[in-house]
A and B are shown apart, each in its own frame.
Chain A
Amino acid sequence: MISDSLGEVVLALRDVKKSYPGTPPIHALAGVDLEIRSGELVAVVGPSGSGKSTMLNMMGALDRPTSGSVVVEGRDLSRLNDRRLSGLRGRKIGFVFQQFHLIDGIGNIENVATGRLYHGVSRRRRRSEAVEMLERVGLGHRLQNRPNQLSGGERQRVAIARALLGDPAIVLADEPTGNLDSGTSEEIMTLLHDLNGQGATIVVITHDRELAASLPRTVSLLDGRIENDSVLNDSVLNDSVLNDSGLGGR
């Protein structure tokens, strides 16, 4: 069965359109259908202006679509108020940013623990989870440091640890290697592969076609539409994803 290697649909975009007001209005997304299943490692790739960022905003519940629906673990985001939307964002979605966005003035453990701050979890528990997660991303020796004492690659590892804390349904990585040199980029991608191997569902948004091609599934965007959705490596995945793409359900 396919479902042995591919889990449930954790995130689905159904005919998502997003336009920004202006004269003429900008149609950043012009009807996108996409499903991400549990355990996938997906690249969303496209040139600048193709709608990648808007796509990230939709998938990450940072913004609402003009029409269509975004469904995370069966819940339609368009029906949620700010408080519920924030709750869902905090618990179900992990974010990794190109600029790391770590908080100055607090240590690595506190930075990672911020991933659980808004879950109402006690500080002691947050910190012990954070230490565990920092060890998991290979920063067990950097627990007592602050982000500004780290290299770029190490900072991104801290950010990844923060994103993974609390076991989100999906991790969205926006150009995670955009500020890193090629050697460090490779290390970060290896880490993402490893984490995916341990069960994390990860979507990498990038303009780098070569990087995208190294991932099991690549979704290409152009002018606000999905131009191509391919599974390159695993033939079993390949078939199933191609068959299901854009249609929802199994």
Chain B
Amino acid sequence: MRSARSDLSRLRSSDVFRVGGLGLRARKVRTLLTALGIAIGIAAMVAVLGITASEDAQVQAELDALGPNLLEVFEGESITGEDIVLPVESAAMIERIGPIEVAAQVSVVDATVRRTEFVPAAQTGGIVVLATDLDVLDAVDGVVATGTFLDARSAETPAVVLGSVAAERLGVRSLDPTPIVYLTDTYFQVIGVLESVRLAPGFDRAAFIGAPIAQTLFEAELEPQTIYVDVVDGWLDDVRALIAATIRPEAPNEVTVTRPSDAIEARDVTSDSFRSLLLGLGAVALLVGGVGIANVMVISVLERQGEIGVRRALGATRRHIRLQFVVESALLSLLGGVAGVGIGAAITAAYAEREDSVVSVPIEALVLGVGAALVIGGFAGLYPAARAARLDPAEAVRPG
């Protein structure tokens, strides 16, 4: 007897890929069009992941720039519904907690702001007059656009600093010559205008005056409306837990403490659901691409019956034929996947460029994209490959 082993059919693994790639090279246009379906799906998913990752990076960068350690403290609600009044020395009390960079408060002054005395008192333009601590801008990362903020001297004089929107409403465009505005019954000099304050949006519609002049002219009580607390890095949660009890030990639950940067993070959370939707659409595109591949492979098997028959005649086993078509399908999809990942990364880069934000394409998205394409292609090829393997070689080599 001869050795049976040497008589078996064998296909080298390098040849498996060569044979699998053959059908793709022979029909280039069809290959490109079919791979395009997968490419679109993968590109969509990579772009969604890339763009949202870039946005996350952007938001993180903003938070870092703003300092995520700011707390806002204001009165809560009492059970009985009475107005709650926080102590005038709230900021000083909070500073005594310890790890605090700055604690500064503002209080509402019962006064109106108008351009001149001839404007009716009812037309306030929605501008609030705030008596402020002098270091409040340090706490909220506020920036003066032109002029200066209040200092110890100007706080005792009729001087006012306007928020960005307030300045616009009062027609203040330049500080030269020094403009004046009318507060209830006194003209004040405008000594500064603020940039928009991101962490304290209320500042944009406010007119800031010193606490001493507020007491002198408007008999302000200086009960704090809001206390801004910039906490030392790493102490945020500890300080947050102590604030209410510090300034209102008799009823700490009637004090509200919030973190403005939470709102910015919340904006990011809302984009999460949007991301899921887009990812879902990408997945559908991918699925459609997979069905397209299966479809094209079925047609290809029908067209290539002769080739399949000849391969069987030349010694290919059913397994070899099945392998050939699964590999062809997977390679086809892989081609689309690689192209899709490239396109997706390019879209992300273009988007980041336009938004002037950080480019961040997660490696996982790239690996996942290529991997998903491979798996989809492999699955799409299973049925056509099984059909090819089932072909009767005797019939396959004969037309009709």
Residues of A within 8 A of B205 (CB): none
B9 close to A101 (CB less than 8 A): no
CA distance A104 to B25 in the complex (A): 10
**A117 in contact with B314 given A83-B9, A105-B25 (CB within 8 Å):** yes
A123 at the interface (CB under 8 A from B): yes
A99 close to B316 (CB less than 8 A): no
Residues of A within 8 A of B22 (CB): 103, 105-106
A225 at the interface (CB under 8 A from B): no
From residue B390, how far is it (CB to closest CB) to chain A in Å? 11
- Find the residue from A90, A91, A119 having the highest chain B CB count within 10 A: A90
From residue B396, how far is it (CB to closest CB) to chain A in Å? 9
Residues of A within 8 A of B307 (CB): 101, 103
Residues of A within 8 A of B25 (CB): 105
A101 close to B309 (CB less than 8 A): yes
Residues of B within 8 A of A57 (CB): 394
CA distance A47 to B7 in the complex (A): 35
**A117 in contact with B19 given A82-B318, A84-B7 (CB within 8 Å):** yes
A97 close to B310 (CB less than 8 A): yes
Q: Closest residue of chain B to A91, judged by CB?
A: B7
How extensive is the interface on chain B, given as a class?
35 or more
Those of B301-331 within 8 Å (CB) of chain A: 306-307, 309-320
Binds A, one of B10-18, B84-92, B168-176: B10-18
A3 at the interface (CB under 8 A from B): no
Those of A76-109 within 8 Å (CB) of chain B: 82-84, 86-91, 93, 95, 97, 99, 101, 103-106
CA distance A95 to B316 in the complex (A): 13
Residues of B within 8 A of A91 (CB): 7, 315
A86 close to B306 (CB less than 8 A): no
Q: Kindly identify which residue among B19, B311, B318, B392 contacts A63, using a CB–CB cutoff of 8 Å.
A: B392
**A118 in contact with B320 given A86-B9, A103-B307 (CB within 8 Å):** yes
CA distance A162 to B4 in the complex (A): 24
Residues of B within 8 A of A122 (CB): 12
Q: Kindly identify which residue among B9, B10, B310 contacts A103, using a CB–CB cutoff of 8 Å.
A: B310
A53 at the interface (CB under 8 A from B): yes
Q: Closest residue of chain A to B393, judged by CB?
A: A62
Q: Closest residue of chain A to B5, judged by CB?
A: A87
B398 at the interface (CB under 8 A from A): yes
A120 at the interface (CB under 8 A from B): yes
CA distance A123 to B17 in the complex (A): 13
CA distance A90 to B312 in the complex (A): 8
CA distance A103 to B311 in the complex (A): 10
CA distance A117 to B313 in the complex (A): 12
A114 at the interface (CB under 8 A from B): yes
A60 close to B313 (CB less than 8 A): yes
Q: Closest residue of chain A to B392, judged by CB?
A: A63
B314 close to A115 (CB less than 8 A): yes
B313 close to A84 (CB less than 8 A): no
A118 close to B398 (CB less than 8 A): no
- Find the residue from A88, A95, A118 having the highest chain B CB count within 10 A: A118
B313 close to A62 (CB less than 8 A): yes
- Find the residue from B10, B25, B26, B310 having the highest chain A CB count within 10 A: B310
From residue A87, how far is it (CB to closest CB) to chain B in Å? 4
Q: Closest residue of chain A to B317, judged by CB?
A: A86
From residue B395, how far is it (CB to closest CB) to chain A in Å? 9
Q: Closest residue of chain A to B313, judged by CB?
A: A95
From residue A46, how far is it (CB to closest CB) to chain B in Å? 16
**A120 in contact with B14 given A86-B312, A95-B397 (CB within 8 Å):** no
Residues of A within 8 A of B23 (CB): 105
A114 close to B314 (CB less than 8 A): yes
B306 close to A118 (CB less than 8 A): no
B399 close to A120 (CB less than 8 A): no
Residues of B within 8 A of A103 (CB): 22, 307, 310
Residues of A within 8 A of B29 (CB): none
CA distance A44 to B306 in the complex (A): 23
Q: Kindly identify which residue among B8, B318, B392, B394 contacts A87, using a CB–CB cutoff of 8 Å.
A: B8
Those of A134-173 within 8 Å (CB) of chain B: 162
From residue A147, how far is it (CB to closest CB) to chain B in Å? 11
6 nearest CB pairs, A to B: A90-B315, A105-B26, A120-B10, A118-B315, A62-B394, A87-B8
- 13 other contacts beyond A104-B26, A120-B10, with CB at 8 A cut-off? A62-B394, A86-B315, A86-B320, A87-B9, A95-B397, A101-B310, A103-B310, A106-B22, A118-B10, A118-B316, A119-B9, A119-B10, A119-B315
Q: List 20 A-B contacts (CB under 8 A).
A: A62-B312, A63-B392, A63-B394, A83-B9, A86-B9, A86-B312, A87-B315, A88-B7, A89-B313, A95-B314, A97-B310, A101-B306, A101-B309, A101-B310, A104-B26, A105-B22, A105-B27, A114-B314, A118-B9, A120-B9
A-side residues, CB < 8 A to B, are: 53, 57, 60, 62-63, 82-84, 86-91, 93, 95, 97, 99, 101, 103-106, 114-115, 117-120, 122-123, 162, 174
